[in-house]
Every structure is written in C-alpha cells, then in structure tokens.
Amino acid sequence: PNPVETYLNLEFNEQPEHLSIIDSYGRKTKLTATNNLIDFRHVPQGSYILLVEFKNTKNYFRIIKK
C-alpha cells in the first residue's frame, strides 16, 4: 500500500533488473529488498521516487513514507 510504513510489496510480471529509491534531493537511499518486499523501516518519512528498471524500460513511482 501507498503510503508505506514498514514494507512495500511489489508485484511485477517480470523480475526487475534494478530497484532504486530516490529522495526529494535526488539522492539514492539505501535499499534493502528481498523477494518482492522493500524494507522502508529505516527510511525517514517523506516523499520518494521508486525507480524500477527492466531490460528495456524504466518505470517511476511516487512513494510516500509515513
């Protein structure tokens, strides 16, 4: 769910090659991901961009950390 408090559950048709969390200053935030879960427990509250990279495409999603 969005906003997220602890973990963000992702479901994709194909496995992404790379995941990044970008803060409002454009800095990449440390990311811990296992299976389809991204751990947001240690990420400060705020607005973030989730960058999901596949073989030929990049997708951007706005994420709110509560």
List, for residues 20-31, the tens digit of each pLDDT value: 999 999 999 888
pLDDT band at 1 (very low <50, low <70, confident <90, very high): low
| Closest residue by Cα to residue 1 from 9, 26, 48 | 9
Instruction: Show the tokens assigned to 50.
Output: 């989730």
Selected residue with higher pLDDT from 66 and 2 = 66
Residue 18 CA neighbour count, 13 Å, CB half = 10
Burial class (CB in 10 A: 0-12, 13-18, 19+), 39: middle
